[in-house]
Amino acid sequence: MAARHLLLLLAMLLPAAATADPDAVQDYCVPDAGVRGRPLELTLLPSYPCRNPANLTASDFAFSGVRAAGNFSADTGFAGVAVTPAQFPALHTLGMSFARADLSAAGGVNPPHYHPRATETALVLAGRVYAGFVDSGGRIFAKVLEKGDVMVFPKGMVHFQMSVGDEPATVYGSFNSENPGIVRIPATVFGSGINTGVLERAFGLTPQEVRRLEKRFGPPKTKTVEMDD
């Protein structure tokens, strides 16, 4: 009986452990991409050997790529710079990543999205930002954040930010995964090639309205894969 209970406990614990970033077994591991002769790719990081710590300097652990905003979208007034080990190799095995988000004044928006592998904490560095998330029960938690305020967006919860001040806003986000992933709701729904009939029924839209939204969010970036019954 005791053995059965132990097996049930392991069955519950193992999936949870498998979904988290692995714990580091050394102080740090700056990957040596040159050994493999190919550019550093996030999905391949575990296969890269670590550089010799004796050859590392403080510069290997510093990153200046978020000093300035990224490229702004004309549609949303949003500019984002994501930083994972692919951009900043020293993050490898440390279980975290970060991003800079900039929103144009009064209306710049980071559209609803979620991170399937990470919880995010967002710090407002400048401006005023209306931000929030929706939980799995459909309840919304949202408020206006001032400079210096921090909000947390739980893992897998749809969330958003919008500038509501007279000045542009800047938000710094940190994630408890080195590869948090991002699923942008509008582009995923209307830009991925989902069958038009599905979208019409699901959202109560006309074919013309669906086509307009599909045109705005772009054609599928990859070939649609469908399975027969």
Q: What does the alpha-carbon distance between residue 180 and residue 157 come to, in Å, rounded to a whole number?
A: 12
Q: Give pLDDT, residue 123.
A: 98
| pLDDT at residue 2, rounded to an integer | 58
- pLDDT at residue 91, as a whole number: 94
pLDDT reported for residue 90: 95
- Taking the domains of the chain in order of start, what are their residue ranges? 71-181, 187-217
Q: What is the pLDDT of residue 129?
A: 98
Task: Look at residue 228 in the predicted model and tell me its pLDDT.
Answer: 52
Predicted local distance difference test score (pLDDT) of residue 76: 95
138 sits in the region (left: phi over 0; alpha: psi -120 to 50; else beta) called left
Kindly give the confidence (pLDDT) of every residue in the chain, 229 residues in length, as a single tens digit, with 9 standing for 90 and above.
556 655 554 455 455 445 557 777 789 999 887 654 455 555 545 567 899 999 999 999 999 999 999 999 999 999 999 999 999 999 999 999 999 999 999 899 999 999 999 999 999 999 999 999 999 999 999 999 999 999 999 999 999 999 999 999 999 999 999 999 999 999 999 999 999 999 999 999 999 999 999 999 876 555 444 545 4
Rounded Cα–Cα distance for residues 101 and 95 (Å): 21
The CATH number fitting domain 71-181, selected from 3.20.20.70, 2.60.40.1180, 3.30.565.10, 2.60.120.10: 2.60.120.10
Q: So what's the pLDDT on residue 145? A: 98
Would the CA dihedral through 71, 72, 76, 80 be positive or negative?
A: positive
pLDDT of residue 224: 47
Give the pLDDT score at 192.
Answer: 92
For position 49, what pLDDT does the model report? 85
Query: DSSP string of the chain?
Result: -HHHHHHHHHHHHHHHHHTSPPPPSSS---B-GGGTTS---GGGGGGSPBPPGGG--GGGG---TTSS--PPPTTT-EEEEEE-TTT-GGGTTSS-EEEEEEE-TTT-EEEEEE-TT--EEEEEEES-EEEEEE-TTS-EEEEEEPTT-EEEE-TT-EEEEEE-SSS-EEEEEEESSSS---EEHHHHHHSS---HHHHHHHHT--HHHHHHHHHHH-S-SS-------
Supply φ then ψ for residue 214, to 5 degrees.
-65, -35
How high is the pLDDT of residue 39? 53
